[in-house]
Structure 1
Amino acid sequence: MTGPGEHNLAVLAERAFERLGDYESLFFEGRWLTSGEIHERSVRVAGGLRAHGVAPGDRVVVMMMNTPEVFVSYRAIWRAGAVVTPVIFLQTAPELRHILTDSGATAAIISAELAGLFGGAAEGLGVTTFVVGDAPAGTTPFADLEGGEPGAIEPRADDDLAALLYTGGTTGRAKGVMLGHRGLWESGHGLSVAARTADTTRSLLPLPLSHAYGLIVTIGALHSDRRPVSVLQRWFEPVGWLTLVAEHRLETSPVVPAMLQLLLAQPLAEYDLSSLRSFGSGGATLPPPVREKVEEVFGVTVLEGYGCTEASAVISVETVTDHRPGSVGKPLPHAEVAILDPDGNPVPAGEDGEICVRGPGVMLGYWRDRELTARTVRDGWLHTGDLGRLDDDGFLHVVDRMKDLIIRGGFNVYPRDVEDVLLEHPAVQVAACVGKPDQERGEEVVAAVQLAPGQEATGADLVEFARARMARYKYPREVVVLDAVPLTSVGKINRKAVRTLFTN
């Protein structure tokens, strides 16, 4: 421990309750919960975790669909000095077992409907399991955690581990990313300060809370200087989203681009969405045609952001008072951004290079992998693997993932450029471009698309559409039309799955 721990997330939650008081703060499936109820439950659950043997530094898996108990669990785990280890509920059994084994988790809090999956994956690992809902034999009801003595806040240093988040694993085995109390505190604070410019307090939360993006949104709310009100969806579903916005007069919602594309396909005129003022879009790059249509149809400002798990989820965001379409905003105060060439030298404003970041939000390292940590964080700079540029005014522009770059006959092709053109076609709702191995050119440009409801277009039509609008080396030589473009569990395009369409 190397400090007084003034950024302890349990202290942050305690002070938020003291500052804002008791009020109706969270609506979920027909019922309002007060901030006092959530706080009181978390204090009792912290005591219950300790009574069941959870010690400071222990990893506690949280694997639930979105429910109020996720908020309660996060705060309770931090209060007990343990480490939140979120696991998204769409994991397969082998993926889940890898996380449980690799993290050495001693306890888990899960939803009842996931008990079968979890029990099979955790067999023989000795994980104490607490179940929200009907608890099967061999597990402990979550309610039992709330029946004991309240738990005091366990002291933690700023650089003590607060969360262990596993990357999605779409490019290989999921890796544990170690995030400290201060890093998450600073990242949440930066997000909160930026959000204040939007002057909104009523939000709809459709994102999986067991993910870096959802986690940082909850921490950001603990920094609020006003009483934030949230409506929680168990999982994103567009009709339910629209219904909740209209019913509760919600003003904003953090989303990923795929959610916006699904919302645009709905009969929006049937809902009163006049209360909406902004969207916070992150998790993936938002194609400009989609942004323009969202702002036009919903009458809102779309505020884009950028981050990665290794940088405590958020690096830059647009604000209502300082935004530039096509960018992902300016870096937040806790994140210093540099654009570096392959030799590690800064490039001039307006030129592309690798986005690198340093500051308190940078991860403590990869769990039990010093070699990978040393390759990824060099001289204090986190190398994100993303290509981007800073303009003359300091706005950050994300070009693409370096690993997704397609090299066709020696020419660089960025998938995002191809996708943006395909999305200009009125029939296309979602587009995903990848490289296909090619003996003559190294890689060939190909794409998969999902059409908007009621629209028609063939792959050949779309190839010609792109060919007329792009340089000869860039346009896709093959486009396949799918019922649904594959997405990851958090709504990003699953390029690994798309590639298999062209290589199998």
Structure 2
Amino acid sequence: MSHHLGVLAEQAYQRLGHYESLFFEGRWLTSTEIHERSTRVAAGLRAHGVRPGDRVVVMTMNTPEVFISYRAIWRAGAVVTPVIFLQSEPELRHILTDSGATAAIISPELAGLFGKAADGLGITTFVIGGNYADLETGEPAGIEPRADDDLAALLYTGGTTGRAKGVMLSHRGLWENGRGIEKVARSANTTRSLLPLPLSHAYGLIVVIGGLHSERRLVSVLQRWFDPAGWLELVAEHRLESSPVVPTMLQMLLAQPYGDYDLSSLRSFGSGGATLPPAIRAAAEKAFGVTVLQGYGLTETSAVVSAESLTEHRAGSVGKPLPHAEVAIIDGEICVRGPGVMLGYWNDPDLTARTIRDGWLHTGDIGRLDDDGYLYVVDRMKDLIIRGGFNVYPRDVEDVLLEHPAVQVAACVGRPDEESGEEVVAVVQLAPGQQATGAELVAFTRDRMARYKYPREVTVLDAVPLTSVGKINRKAVRDLFRQS
């Protein structure tokens, strides 16, 4: 059986046929248009010298051309290399140089940045709304054969802690992961979803692949980028039932006047990308009348390891491992084995050998499994704070801070301290119209936590620093305390 993602896309179209499948900024695209354009773009890429195994960068805002380009790149036997559009020039230069990309598909807004970063690298560049149309002028192309373990995607991760590393994901790994995600989505019995996540990220990528496995005609409404007011308008207008989100998106939605919109069609959210605080989950379920289904994974595992479904969910857990993923807790660390595990880090065999040992990928996350096989994530190993010999998990502190009615976002880190080794400190962002001082929040946590755990300093910020995919940027938070 082939796990070729180009074949998967072809099969999806043959199975589901012609229908209005994607809405973007006032226009519907049919499944036929997406399929036929992708077959022409595949031919166009070949005509412009893209060969099987070549890396093709996709660096765009969310647009229909992302769906088309991913299918086309796989059809041409090339490697999708998604790049988040919020890059600095040096970060982008590193990715382009390291990946050895031969071609790139970009949004017009990014042409200036991309041109500077790609200077002298000889990358053939196609701009959506411009010469991208040149790719669609030829006759449709067939599917270039690829093996199950051939490279399908090269995703760069870890840019907030050092130079971004290229994660090599295979056709089979992404295929299996997409099937697991589709099984979870099927349990929610929803077919109309809103996609606000950057598709040029592992989470967005796997949502696309999951859709290719569906037996049902799925309808997607795409946001160019996440905008909470626009999100609410689109749900109400198109009677949407579900949306994959990250926790900070839920926090922003809860700060909106959501009661002004008819959101009665909503049934479920899929939450991933970061740990979901219980207070935020409870508030979202109450506000929107949904079930929030948590998942867990990382780029190195083809995006997802475990996920809750409507039939299998348990408070505080991130669900059970997907069928293709085997999970073990080794010395407190979550370890994963199976076809979804990356082939390795691009150009870095030493780091690959340190990360994958005896067939197990060591995630760097602390967790546990209960007797029924549900997985619980405690925290990141590298984020663990050791204060006076005691372990403090930032998530525990953040969960308590978020119980305060004024707090919308919270981030806890360790600050070097001569006496304790590390001191527990935190930053918060207040909900609109709310007031609280750092001293009040310290007192709030002190009454609710063990003495060694509560933060000795809480700073109120206009906005807690986030990464390009909406996670808390702990490196930036640590830097704030080092500067103070």
Scaled by the length of structure 1, the TM-score of the pair is 0.95
Unaligned runs of 5+ in 2: none
Match of 2:132?
142
Within 1, Cα distance between the matches of 2:70 and 2:224?
Answer: 17
Identity of aligned residues (%): 82
Within 2, Cα distance between the matches of 1:97 and 1:417?
Answer: 38
1:196 alignment partner, one of 181, 186, 198: 186
Say which SS state the counterpart of residue 243 (structure 1) adopts: helix
2:117 alignment partner, one of 114, 121, 126: 121
Is 1:415 the counterpart of 2:391? The answer is: no
2:361 alignment partner, one of 382, 386, 395: 382
Aligned residues: 483
2:177 alignment partner, one of 187, 191, 199: 187
Return closer, same or farther for 1:240/1:168 CA change in 2, 3 Å cut-off.
farther
Shift of 1:269: 1.1
Match of 1:257?
247
Is 1:239 the counterpart of 2:218? The answer is: no
Match of 1:210?
200
Say which SS state the counterpart of residue 58 (structure 2) adopts: strand
1:242-276 Cα offsets, whole Å, 9 max, x none, are 00000000000000000000000010111000000
Is 1:14 the counterpart of 2:10? The answer is: yes
Is 1:65 the counterpart of 2:61? The answer is: yes
Say which SS state the counterpart of residue 11 (structure 1) adopts: helix
1:63-462 correspondence runs (5 A): 63-134=59-130, 141-341=131-331, 353-462=332-441
AA in 2 matched with 1:233: Q
Say which SS state the counterpart of residue 275 (structure 1) adopts: coil
Match of 2:49?
53
1:206-249 Cα offsets, whole Å, 9 max, x none, are 00000000000000000001000000000000000000000000
AA in 2 matched with 1:39: H
Within 2, Cα distance between the matches of 1:282 and 1:194?
Answer: 13
Say which SS state the counterpart of residue 409 (structure 2) adopts: strand
Within 2, Cα distance between the matches of 1:268 and 1:77?
Answer: 39
Say which SS state the counterpart of residue 321 (structure 1) adopts: coil
Say which SS state the counterpart of residue 273 (structure 1) adopts: coil
Say which SS state the counterpart of residue 327 (structure 1) adopts: coil
Within 1, Cα distance between the matches of 2:290 and 2:80?
Answer: 34
2:27 alignment partner, one of 19, 31, 44: 31
AA in 1 matched with 2:7: V
Within 2, Cα distance between the matches of 1:213 and 1:268?
Answer: 25
Within 2, Cα distance between the matches of 1:430 and 1:267?
Answer: 18
Scaled by the length of structure 2, the TM-score of the pair is 0.99
Say which SS state the counterpart of residue 291 (structure 1) adopts: helix
Moved over 2 A (4+): none
Match of 1:350?
none
Shift of 1:392: 1.3
Match of 1:480?
459
1:344-384 Cα offsets, whole Å, 9 max, x none, are xxxxxxxxx10000000000000010000000000110000
Say which SS state the counterpart of residue 21 (structure 2) adopts: strand
Within 1, Cα distance between the matches of 2:94 and 2:318?
Answer: 34
1:492 alignment partner, one of 450, 471, 474: 471
Say which SS state the counterpart of residue 259 (structure 1) adopts: helix
Within 2, Cα distance between the matches of 1:325 and 1:450?
Answer: 26
Match of 1:347?
none
> Aligned-pair RMSD on alpha carbons?
0.6
Within 1, Cα distance between the matches of 2:294 and 2:477?
Answer: 25
Say which SS state the counterpart of residue 468 (structure 2) adopts: coil
Say which SS state the counterpart of residue 25 (structure 1) adopts: strand
Shift of 1:133: 1.7
